[in-house]
Structure 1
Amino acid sequence: MWRGRALRRGPLLALALVLGALWWWAVLRLALLPEQTGAIEGAVAAGGWGLSLLPVHVISAASAGVTTRASRRRRSGAESDPS
């Protein structure tokens, strides 16, 4: 079961690392050598920054299969735990 997931995640992880390295290269080039950079570096840096604004890590609890329960409120007259 884990082996199948690892095989599917491997190429995605490699792609994410390559794209992240490309973005950092463009950002550092813009910051350190602004007179030698072109439109491609600017587009890569702006595109990566724009993607970082998207909430791609947020999913609904229903699609994740997570169920939650509300915690019970204590009565105002109830004593606290001695510990």
Structure 2
Amino acid sequence: MAGIARWGAALGAGALWWWAVLRLAVAPDAGAVEGAIAAGGWGLSLLPVHSVPKARAAGVLAAGRWGRAWRTGRITTASPHPRSDGGSDPS
């Protein structure tokens, strides 16, 4: 049932976006509402949808790493992973 509702919401939002875009292109009285809907839909298209859960991501940090560093006061310590160039300063 949740899948049907999700598809219905996606189709409804898509239809609303196309209505706003077409109205902006054709109707001389289109205004801020249509512009906001069109811009908002375009902005949503910039979201990263090709992602994986954090546990499966390559190079992910261990859960709680930043919290442990904050509690122990080691916020400014260097990374446990040294740079590939040996960390030498070119200056």
TM-score using structure 2 length: 0.56
Instruction: Output the CA distance in 2 between the equivalents of 1:20 and 1:52.
Output: 11
Greater RCO, 1 or 2 (C-alpha within 8 Å, sep 6+): 1
Amino acid at match of 1:45: A
1:2-81 equivalences under 5 Å are 7-33=1-27, 35-60=28-53, 62=56
- The number of residues matched between the two structures is 56
Provide Cα deviations, 1:42-68, integer angstroms capped at 9, x if missing partner.
Answer: 0000000000011123225816xxxxx
Identity within the alignment, %: 59
Provide Cα deviations, 1:1-54, integer angstroms capped at 9, x if missing partner.
Answer: xxxxxx220101101100100000000111112x21011000000000000011
Unaligned segments of structure 2, at least 5 residues = 58-91
TM-score using structure 1 length: 0.60
Unaligned segments of structure 1, at least 5 residues = 1-6, 64-83
Instruction: Output the CA distance in 1 between the equivalents of 2:38 and 2:13.
Output: 11
